[in-house]
Structure 1
Amino acid sequence: MSHKPTITDSLQFPADSKVPRALFGVGAVGLIASIIGYFLDADQFFFSYLVSFVFFSGIALAALLMVMLHHITKSSWGVLFRRISETFISNIWIWAIFAIPVILGIHNLYHWSHEDAVMADKILKGKSAYLNTPFFIARQFIYFAIWGYLGYKLHKVSVEMDKTNDWGLTALLRKVSAPGIPLFALSVAFASFDWLMSLDPHWFSTMFGVYFFAISFQTFWPVMILLVFYMQRKGILKNTIRQVHIYDLGAWFFAFTVFYAYIAFSQFLLIYYANLPEETLWYFHRLEGSWKYIAYSLLIFRFAIPFLVLLNREAKKNRTILTIISILVLVIHFAEIYWIAMPVLFKHGIHFSWMDITAFLGLGGIFFGLFFNTFKKHDMVPKNDPKLDDCLSKSYHQ
């Protein structure tokens, strides 16, 4: 007779935890400091804000796709982690508020938003049907309406299953996820065009959407790993999430490190051998001056080191190694978004500002404050999911 696995840990995040309040406090201080910076240097403020906004938005969007893939494939391996992803996406409709400064700073960020510049530039005039202020604002509403609805619905139904034990709700989750995946793909691609690619309105890459997805999805796994390790150090889900589950996180981290390198290099190679001036100049400006040091760092710290380290089977479940590599990739991910955006403002080399730090702390504090504030209200594991037993009884493949 097979033994039915049971959960011995409490499924409730400590209700008296001061983590959300502390994070909201950090976020408030960071945002206030950044707002002060706006009056000192508006351009720097908006570019610093955009980099951090894209950084944290990418984590939530990767979580959204992960939840939908779980449902549509009926997978069991990640059931224990799914509530973490669901919590991230449950707050996307609130996170939409933080897109407002990007809209307000449109003239500081995007050259194409200036009518005189468009009238004097044949290329910009040809793109003006898409790159114009009213349509840009409308698209932001569309993106966050799609993401906000999907995130809220998937989280709400999953939590409802905890209370009702109605396995029929899994069919509803799949019905939401099936159209949600293509809607996600289109909306994220166009959002990446709007937020980052159109900073250089003459430049274009048909691969930029999947490139943005690749950098965001690779970063999602270090966030998951560090969150799980943080909780287990606090004694949360210590006996429920075992080494075999940690190995899965490490394996996904490794897989999307390879995927990131494939997509990033493919985009570079296509532009390199086509050798069209309007395409190559984007890389040219990011491979000159001090910007080239970030470019080379991406190759070393975002691909080579994580790839070589995580190639080893044992490394994928070694907590010390996973922690170090996760932190490394998160740092270099921020640097990559910075490298994409900031050469528009500082063409001749890297120019770090204190507002880069305050914007990151401000948005990061709010982002994770929202996460923990929601996370502690519900069970940390979808306890009535029909695939939970399979996940709990998972063992290594030898």
Structure 2
Amino acid sequence: MSADTQTSRPHATGIARAQTPLLIVGIIGIVVAAIGFVTNAPEFYRAWLPAFIFWFFIPAGALGVLCLQYVTGGEWGLLIRRPLGAAARTLPLFLLFGLPIVFGLQYVYAWANHDIVAHDVLLSRKSVYLNPTAWIIRTLVYFALWTLWAWRIRILSLDFAKTRSPYTELTRRRWSAAGLLMIVLTLTTTSVDWVMSLEPKWYSSMYGIAFTVSAGLSAFAFVTFFLTLLADNPAMEGVLKPMHFRDLGNLMLAFTMLWAYTNFSQFLLVWYGNIKEETPYYLKRMHGVWGWMAAALVLFHFFLPFFMLLMRSIKDRPKTIAIVTVVILIMRFVDTYWLIGPAYGYEHFHFSWITIFAFIGIGGLWLAAFIAQLKGQTIIPIHESWVDEALREGTLQREAVRHA
């Protein structure tokens, strides 16, 4: 294999070198977080959930965006199919990351505590759906479906790369169309099982939609940031262009607006309804530091990215759009913690050191797995039919494809 043949592979861009350090950091994070289990097991279980949900959003959203790209095509996905696919195929890893939650269900969810359910009429009625056995079965079904779709699309893509068969391409598109429906439905029910049921007496018909949009936004922010890391690498010269970042910036703008719309609509419905079972959800999130976090979400999760992503000069430059993606990802964690923290009855702001190391541990291991999935692949899927179209229209240079 010539040097040119390797230029846009992950090892040529330097990404592969980060795998071992990330793996080491991840292991250290998990070990330190495990100390919290020894000192305070209930706190460990509760602190684990926000870190788990934050990192889960990225591969789950990646699977949805990947299906969307295969259904619609379009040059906006020219350079993100491979990173999206790599992220989506790491979803089975979250079965392992979720084990602490399974072992600590009674500490994480009130409906899993038999003593609480026995003395609460409403929770007793909901126990047909909200019970540990059903929760575990549904979770296994979710992961089975996500894994099936992620790897089925991967197998079809590998087959298409060898055969260039129109039938294979059509089959992949059909699987992707069905996958879009599957991911929306499963993320909706996942949001109920994993997060909304933290406060089992509260419910919102908008919650699942907001959860799904959050996953999509997390995925777009992550893959865009990933591409910005490659922008200055000589191996990517002629591959990454301003229009690619502009397209991704426009999609992040759309998902930022969707996030604001779904969350504001949910707030408006609860405020307008003024039902005693619903209003406490927002009342306790509007006081003290929780209230300041809510204000930060409005300012930095919506307004700042919204106005920055309106400007073409910011979207076209890797360094400036990287700043936007970092802001979005930071606020995604703030949003996740704001949703989960008050559910445990913390009237005042509470943040555990265990969450920090759980975040580092899960993140390090997941990023190492993500890089492992990218190894041996070119950044550009050179066998796709739309690469020829991109060459004709000038959105991709022929030299870049040869280098790929």
User: Per the alignment, do residues 257 and 394 of structure 1 end up closer, same or farther by CA in structure 2, a change over 3 Å counting?
Assistant: farther
Amino acid at match of 2:293: I
Post-superposition Cα deviations, 1:325-373, rounded to whole Å, max 9, x if no partner, equal 2111111110111011111235222222221210011000111110101
Distance 1:344 1:357, change over 3 A: same
Give 1:8 deviation, angstroms.
8.5
2:192 matches 1:193: yes
SS at match of 1:168: helix
Shift of 1:163: 3.8
Alignment check: 8 A CA contact 1:89 1:155 kept: no
Could you list the runs of 5+ residues in structure 2 that have no partner in the other structure? 396-404
The reply on whether 1:132 has 2:141 as its aligned counterpart is no
State yes or no: 1:341 paired with 2:340.
yes
Is structure 2 residue 39 aligned with structure 1 residue 44?
no
Deviations 1:38-70 (A, max 9, x none): 111222222221111111111111111111111
Contact 1:64–1:85 (CA under 8 A) maintained in structure 2 = yes
Partner SS for 2:284: helix
Distance 2:275 2:265 in 1: 16
Residues 171 and 348 of structure 1: is their aligned pair in 2 closer, same or farther, counting only changes over 3 Å?
Answer: same
Secondary structure (helix, strand or coil) at the match of 1:92 reads coil
Instruction: Say whether 1:14 aligns with 2:11.
Output: yes
Distance 1:380 1:194, change over 3 A: same
Residue 81 of structure 1 corresponds to which residue in structure 2? Answer: 80
| Corresponding residue for residue 388 of structure 2 | 389
Structure-to-structure mapping, 1:1-398, within 5 angstroms: 10-14=7-11, 17-392=16-391
367-376 or 12-21, which moves further after superposition? 12-21
SS of match in other structure, 1:277: coil
Report the Cα distance in structure 2 between the residues aligned to 1:197 and 1:146, rounded to whole angstroms.
21
Contact between 1:289 and 1:349, CA under 8 Å: does it hold in 2?
yes
1:3: which partner in 2?
none
**Relative to 1, partners in 2 of residues 1:315 and 1:39: Cα closer, same or farther, differing over 3 Å?**
same
Residues 86 and 373, structure 2, Cα contact 8 Å, conserved in 1: yes
Gaps of 5+ in 1: 1-6
Q: Tell me the equivalent position of 2:402.
A: none
CA 74–369 in structure 1, closer or farther in 2 if over 3 Å, else same: same
Cα deviation for residue 104 of structure 1 reads: 1.2
Alpha-carbon shift at residue 309 of structure 1 (Å)? 1.6
Instruction: Report the Cα distance in structure 2 between the residues aligned to 1:125 and 1:237, rounded to whole angstroms.
Output: 58
Deviation at 1:395, TM superposition (A): 6.3
The CA distance in 1 between the partners of 2:203 and 2:127, in whole Å, is 14
Identical aligned pairs, as a percentage? 30
C-alpha distance in structure 2 between counterparts of 1:57 and 1:392, whole Å: 35
Structure 1 distance, partners of 2:20, 2:391, is 32
CA distance in 2, matches of 1:209, 1:393: 41
**Do the aligned residues in 2 keep the contact of 1:157 with 1:169 (CA within 8 Å)?**
yes
State the alpha-carbon separation in 2 of the partners of residues 229 and 346 from structure 1.
40
Name the CA shift for 1:10/1:137 in 2 (closer, same or farther; >3 Å).
same
In structure 1, what residue type is equivalent to 2:334?
A
Name the CA shift for 1:108/1:391 in 2 (closer, same or farther; >3 Å). Answer: farther
Count of residue pairs brought into register by the alignment: 390
Letter paired with 2:243: V
Q: What is the deviation of 1:90? A: 1.6
Question: 2:76 is paired with a residue of what secondary structure?
Answer: coil
State the 1:74 CA deviation: 3.2
Letter in 2 for 1:210: I
Residue 9 of structure 2 aligns with an amino acid whose one-letter code is: Q
Paired amino acid for 1:140: T
Q: Distance in 1 between matches of 2:52 and 2:198?
A: 15
Distance (whole Å) between structure 1 residues aligned to residue 105 and residue 283 of structure 2? 25
How far does residue 314 in structure 1 lie from its aligned partner after superposition? 2.2
Structure 2: how far apart are the matches of 1:284 and 1:219?
A: 27
Cα offset for 1:150? 0.6
CA drift of 1:96 comes to 2.2
What is the alpha-carbon distance in structure 2 between the residues aligned to residue 228 and residue 368 of structure 1? 14
CA spacing shift, 1:38–1:337, aligned 2, 3 Å = same
- Measured in 2, the distance between the counterparts of 1:18 and 1:315 equals 29
How far is 1:394 from its partner?
A: 5.1
Distance 1:344 1:305 in 2: 27
Q: Contact 1:167–1:386 (CA<8 Å) still a contact in 2?
A: no
Give the Cα–Cα distance (whole angstroms) in 2 for the partners of residues 74 and 317 of structure 1.
21
When residues 391 and 41 of structure 1 are mapped into structure 2, their CA distance, relative to the original with a 3 A threshold, is: farther
Change (3 A) 1:241 1:334: same
Partners of 2:346 and 2:17 lie apart in 1 by 43
Q: Distance in 1 between matches of 2:158 and 2:378?
A: 8
Task: Tell me by how many angstroms 1:169 deviates.
Answer: 2.0
